[in-house]
Amino acid sequence: MRTAGWLMALPFVVAGCDLRGGQIGLVGPAPLPGPPAPLVGTPAPPFALLDQEDRPVTPGKLHGRWVVLYFFPPDDAPACACQANQFTAMLKRFGDMDAAVLGINGESSAMHRYLIAKYGLPMPLLSDPNHAVAQRYGAWRDSPDPGGHVVRSALLVDPAGIIRSHWPNITSTDDLALIRRRIEELRRQR
């Protein structure tokens, strides 16, 4: 079994948090393997997605900045809302490091506008309706359910457009702190 860069398949997945930030145990079958994520140290694959205001966003528009690509399941799920709130609480810290945080899932721009209004999210949410970008970035899993699903995950792209880190299962505020610390570490190395 090839495991480089991936967690080994487990029979069950436990993840999530409630809207107050506490952990809850969502237990279910582990997802089936999906396409591999781009390799750390390689250029980030190009994409063009629409944000919540139907404006196109491409990695090239963010060249020169750190970029966190945050893939998440359908909008307004309890764990999704919790993590969005956690990202919001940490967004100033990411901004202080000149890091853009982009949320990506398959929902429409209208649904993203609703989520942003409901939770006061200050970060852009990008629509990936065919899940092509999620697949390209290793954030899509086939599943017994029709079609498959997005896996809550994140990638860090440096100012030169190179993938520097990949977190295949983002589940808590601690994971967000890991992303922030990784940016700080890489900035010190530059």
Rounded-to-integer distance, Cα 157 and Cα 183, Å: 9
Q: In what order do the strands lie in the sheet with 125-127?
A: 56-57, 49-50, 125-127, 99-105, 66-71, 153-157, 163-167
Structural domains in the chain plus CATH codes? 12-189 (3.40.30.10)
Rounded-to-integer distance, Cα 76 and Cα 72, Å: 10
Checking if the pLDDT of 173 tops 90, the result is no
Is 32 in a helix, a strand, or coil? coil
Query: Catalytic residues, which ones?
Result: 80
Q: Which amino acid is at 62?
A: L
* Mean pLDDT on 63-72: 92
Token pair of 187, please?
A: 């900035």
**Which residues on adjacent β-strands are paired with residue 121?**
none
Residue with more model confidence, 131 or 10? 131
Question: What pLDDT digit, counting tens, does each position of 140-161 carry?
Answer: 887 776 678 888 899 999 999 9
Checking if the pLDDT of 16 tops 50, the result is no
pLDDT on residue 184: 94
pLDDT on residue 110: 95
Q: Which amino acid is at 186?
A: L
